[in-house]
Amino acid sequence: MGDAVELVGRREERAALEGAFHRALQGQRTVVSIRGEAGIGKSALLGEVRLLARANGVAVVWTSVTEAESGIGWGGLATLLHGLSPALIESRHPTHTEALRAVMGAGDTTALQPLTVAAALADVLRHLTDAGPAVVAVDDLHWLDAASAGALSFALRLLADVPLLFVVASRPVRLPIELARVVDADDLFVVEPSPLSVAGVRELLIDKFDVQLGRVELVRLHTATGGNPLHLISTGRLLHAGTPFGEALLPASLREIIDVELRRVAAVHLAVLGAAALMPQPRLGLLRQLFDTDAVDTAIGAAEAIDLVRINGDMIAFRHPLLIAGLADRLTTAERRALHRRCSELDVTDEVRAFHVSEAAEGVDSVAADLLDAAANAATDRGLFANALVHAERALTLTDPADTGLVRRRTIRVADVAIDSGEARRALALLSPLLDGADVEGPDWPQVLQLAAFATASVHGMVAALPMLEQLALIHPVGSVARADAIGRVATALLPIDIGRTAHVCAEAEAAALAAGDHHLAQVAAAARVIADTLAGRPTEPSRAEPAAAVSMSVLLDWFAIAVWTDDHERAEQLYQEGRRRLSARPTVTHEHNLLNQAADLRLRQGRLDEAAALAERALVLADAIDHGGARSSDVAVIAALRGESEVARRHAAWASSVGDALPPVLLAQTKYGVGVVEALAGNLRGALGALREAVTMWDKAGALDLGALPLRSELAEVLLLTGEVDEAEALVTRMQELAEAAGRPRGRAEAVFASAHLLAARGQLDEAAIQADIAIAAYQALDLPVYRARALLMAGSIARRRRLRTHARVLLDEAVVLFTECGAAGYLPRVQAELSRLGERSGPDQLTATEQQIAALVAAGQTTHEVAASLFVSRRTVESHLTRIYRKLNVRSRAELAARYQGR
């Protein structure tokens, strides 16, 4: 059955595919989702994409997934990678090459860390497009295993800038890749094939079978088949063979259609084809281990001749998934189990072997349970928690209930994997009987308590889990790493809820650790305490130890956060590099996410917004894996708003808002802050006011009083004044001044002064406001915070304009433009332009502005850049930026030419 023939009557769908394909040809990443019920023609439309690619010389990477493969980790990705050039895989970074080879079953399985595999896949697909556009196609996406889906989702997010067409076919069910969240709406095309019309039925029968029916028969056939192409092809084949029309209409269900298809298979071939249907990844080589080679070749050849299967090298692909189910159903239960037992002895991976063992087992089976246990452990080591959960649960069901000790151990194991898989409720259901038992002195009690705490936190929130976490910390002996880790978990759980209590718990733990000589716990507790004290707005003494001295990645991340929040950029950079080094040796999703998240904040503060955006996007990808996606989307929204990407900002702000109020106060404050910034820059001041008020309320509720970790109070003060809420703003500014003095940190003082200048300007005290604005500008410059300095310049320019100091106002506003532009903060430029417009007409594009005229005159007079900057109270970088534009406008290339131009005037 040819794909092109099957597309008769699919002109609209084909046009949509062609449009998406040519969009990718033009260099834009494009995603197409073909959705429809079984037999509706999804695979045929997918085949059309392959034909388009072949006709245009475009590379195609293809995978087709079966239901049996859905529980086999990396199965779908392995098939996909087999379609790539080996040279492309081998030319990658050694770590990436090792990971991809392991996915394909040719390398060390310990290299199968999900994050490494995902990064390697993104790298390979990026290089695949170096020679031009490429197509990645996945048939039956709904059966793609979780590990492969995660890697593809990660790669798709990272490949937004490459000419790639990602096209999938699936049934209309929940998919393992949430395409609508992975790509922008403009990049996603959904094609939903509808049943063929009567005209389409007629066209199909003529083109494929040379069968012509009258109008009445056509309508009857269309009614009987519902326009389903698979049903129609089966019926058309019967009509072509001479079957009377009435008999040809009899099959009424897809299963019956498949039965009709399979009747063409000789009985002697059914055993071979049935075995292939039972295999997650059927291969000729595996079948030849089960059956005589001639029998395999004859059976597969016969199936290929009637288009039941297609062969690609050693791999066997069934034309339609329902054929697999139909073949398996033709085997008795005893025959299926016997074949699965034989398949488990083949040269297959541990996970495939576990699948066959599981399918062959019945009742209590200790051998099968042990094998499944081993497969669960292997899957866990490779980060394939969904697969591990399937194996672990099956092992538990096959365990002898009389062996209570083994049942308990396997119950705990299933709960452990369930938590890692995001099935916290399942874990709680398993652990509840153990928590109610009396075995609190047993050796596995700490593990039970720890798992119960994690599961409780996921289902009911951190507050509900705290008693368990605190009890867990007391169980472990003083001086043990386990005790230190438990204290760290208590701090992590408490921090988003109650910062004051976090500081108290950590201070107690730190004192106890110092008394016991426990260096590990002392460092963990101290780092967490300083985090809490910093957020609480108290004076702190952060560790100045070398980054390499951090006893754990968690401690290093705490140090990094403190350095970022206190604007210690040099130390923050050192800690960031150390974090990257550690992650390259031992990557974990949570640590990678936390490092990227803080690094994005660091780059924002440094005025490197393009880098900040890239880091925040990568952090968001990882946040999805640890259920922080909604909260972290607000970070992306803020950076996008600052960069002037209003559509991106609005989309991520909406996602952040959809998370609801179930988040802990600190995370909720961050989310509301993001929404507030987006609304403020979009001009929706009332919307911004509501979000920022909530943010400050949540910040206060958690005890977060620092002004620099998240500048939400100064943001609220500015919006309050812009909306005329002067009295409320005054109370807020007074509070900010008190907090700044209590903490004693430069950033807090800068924020308080910035807000104070706004308040004074709103009160009409312009001279005092100008003084405070100048102090804020200098403070932000000393802290090397260019975006915030540019905001202070904008405010100062507005104050100068109101004081009728037009030239000085233009100087300040021009410098703000330069800074905002250099940082990539285009979102603020409309505000600056609005202020400049209030100063009157601007000069033409090739004429010098007032500021440029001043600078040009001073430079022509022989002043150095430093002297000009001092004369005009601006930075050297501002003078240099103005000079670049002056040279261009006057068509001169040096100071000498500029001086000559002015001397000739």
Mean pLDDT, residues 552-558: 92
What are 596's two structure tokens?
């990227």
State pLDDT tens for residues 467-516: 887 777 777 776 666 777 677 777 777 788 889 888 888 888 888 788 87
Instruction: Tell me if 45 sits within 8 A of 163, measured CB to CB.
Output: no
> Among 501, 439, 502, 449, which Cα is nearest to 475's?
449
434-441 long-range contacts, CB within 8 A, separation 24+: 434/408
CA 803/CA 801 separation, integer angstroms: 5
- pLDDT given for residue 326 in this prediction: 76
Q: Could you tell me the pLDDT band of residue 714, with boundaries at 50, 70 and 90?
A: very high
Q: Which residues contact 818 (CB under 8 A, 6 or more apart)?
A: 877, 878, 881, 882
At CB < 8 A and 24+ separation, what contacts does 100-103 make? 100/124, 103/74, 103/77, 103/78
User: Could you report the per-residue pLDDT of 638-676, keeping only the tens digit for each?
Assistant: 999 999 888 889 888 888 887 666 678 888 899 999 999
CA distances from residue 60 to 45, 80, 125, 133, 550 in whole angstroms, order as listed: 15, 10, 11, 9, 47
What interhelical angle do 553-565 and 589-605 show, nearest 10?
A: 20
Q: What is the pLDDT of residue 627?
A: 54
Average pLDDT over residues 555-569: 96
Please compute the mean of the pLDDT values over residues 596-612 and round it to a whole number.
95
> What is the pLDDT, as a whole number, of residue 904?
52
Return the biggest CA–CA distance within the chain. 105
> What average pLDDT is seen over the chain?
83
Backbone angles phi, psi at 209, to 5 degrees: -120, -5
* Three-state secondary-structure class, residue 168: strand
Residue 31 main-chain phi, psi, to 5 deg: -120, 130
- pLDDT-derived band at 247 (thresholds 50, 70, 90) equals low
Question: Which of 512, 488, 514 is closest to 502 using CA atoms?
Answer: 488
* pLDDT > 80? residue 196: no
β-bridge partners, 818: none
**DSSP string over 259-277:** HHHHTTS-GGGHHHHHHHH
In this model, does residue 542 exceed pLDDT 50? Answer: yes
Distance of CA 331 to the CA centre of its chain: 43
Q: Note the pLDDT of residue 5.
A: 34
pLDDT band for 1, please (50, 70, 90 cuts). very low
User: What does residue 191 show for φ and ψ, rounded to 5 degrees?
Assistant: -115, 120
User: In terms of Cα–Cα distance, which of 763, 757, 756, 674 is closest to 724?
Assistant: 763
Q: Transcribe 333-373 into DSSP letters.
A: HHHHHHHHHHHTTSS--HHHHHHHHHHH--S--HHHHHHHH
Mean pLDDT of 307-334: 79
Look at residue 556 and tell me whether its pLDDT is greater than 90. Answer: yes
Best mean pLDDT range from 199-213, 297-311, 597-611, 660-674: 597-611
For residues 890 and 901, the answer to whether their CB atoms sit within 8 Å is yes
Question: Is 60 exceeded by the pLDDT of residue 110?
Answer: no
Q: Which distant-in-sequence residues (6+ apart) come within 8 Å of 151 by Cβ?
A: 77, 114, 117, 118, 121
In the block, tokens 């994005």 appear at 600
Categorize the per-residue pLDDT at 15 as very low, low, confident or very high, splitting at 50, 70 and 90. confident
Q: How far, in whole angstroms, is CA 252 from its chain's centroid? A: 44
- Please indicate whether residue 235 or residue 609 has the higher confidence score (pLDDT): 609
Report residue 26: phi and psi, to 5°: -85, 5
pLDDT of residue 260: 63
The neighbour count for residue 665, using CB atoms within 10 Å, is: 21
What is the pLDDT confidence band of residue 3, given thresholds at 50, 70 and 90?
A: very low
User: How would residue 250 be classed by pLDDT, with cut points 50, 70 and 90?
Assistant: low
Give residue 309's identity as a one-letter amino acid code. V
Helices 589-605 and 629-642, axial angle in degrees (round to 10): 20
- Residue 530's pLDDT band, with cuts at 50, 70 and 90, is very high
pLDDT score, position 252? 52
298 torsion bin: left (phi>0), alpha (psi -120 to 50), beta (else): alpha
> pLDDT value at position 112?
66
- Three-state SS for 10? coil
Predicted confidence at residue 7, as pLDDT, reads 43
751 has a pLDDT exceeding 70: yes
Report field, pTM of the whole predicted structure over 0.75 = no
The single-letter code of the amino acid at 614 is A
In the chain, % helix, strand, coil (3-state, to 5) comes to 70, 5, 25
Dist CA 665 CA 663 (whole Å): 6
Integer Cα distance of 588 and 597 in angstroms = 14
Name the phi and psi angles at 30, rounded to 5.
Answer: -135, 140
pLDDT at position 428 over 50: yes
Which residue is associated with the tokens 């076919």?
169
User: What tokens appear for 749 in the block?
Assistant: 């003082």
Count of other CB atoms within 10 angstroms of residue 357: 26
Q: What is the pLDDT of residues 363-415, one digit of tens each?
A: 888 888 988 888 888 777 766 677 788 889 989 999 999 999 999 999 999 99
Q: What are the helix (H) ranges across 159-226?
A: 179-182, 198-204, 215-225
pLDDT of residue 87: 82
For residue 772, the model assigns a pLDDT of: 97
pLDDT at position 4, please? 34
Phi, psi (rounded to 5 degrees) for 761:
-65, -40
pLDDT reported for residue 261 = 67
Handedness of CA 593, 595, 601, 607 (dihedral sign): negative
β partners of residue 99: none
Higher confidence at residue 387 or residue 290? 290
* Of 288-302, 632-646, 652-666, 696-710, the least confident: 652-666
Q: What is residue 742's predicted lDDT score, i.e. its pLDDT?
A: 94
Q: Mean pLDDT across the stretch 316-341?
A: 81
Q: What is the DSSP string of 401-437?
A: TT-HHHHHHHHHHHHHHHHHTT-HHHHHHHHHHHHTS
Neighbour-count burial of 488, counting CB atoms closer than 10 A to its CB (0-12 exposed, 13-18 middle, 19+ buried): buried
> pLDDT digits over 74-86, tens only?
778 888 887 788 8
316 band by pLDDT with thresholds 50, 70 and 90: confident
N- to C-terminal Cα separation, the chain: 83
Decide if pLDDT at 288 tops 60: yes
Rg (CA), the chain: 33
Q: How many CA atoms lie within 13 A of 489 on its CB side?
A: 23
**What three-state secondary structure class fits 862?**
coil
Strand partners, 170: 35
Residue type, 750: A
Q: How many residues does the chain have?
A: 905
Q: Which of 10-19, 463-472, 476-485, 855-864 ranks highest by mean pLDDT?
A: 855-864
Q: Which of 14-28, 172-186, 292-306, 459-473 has the highest average model confidence (pLDDT)?
A: 292-306
* H-only helix segments in 703-745: 712-722, 726-743
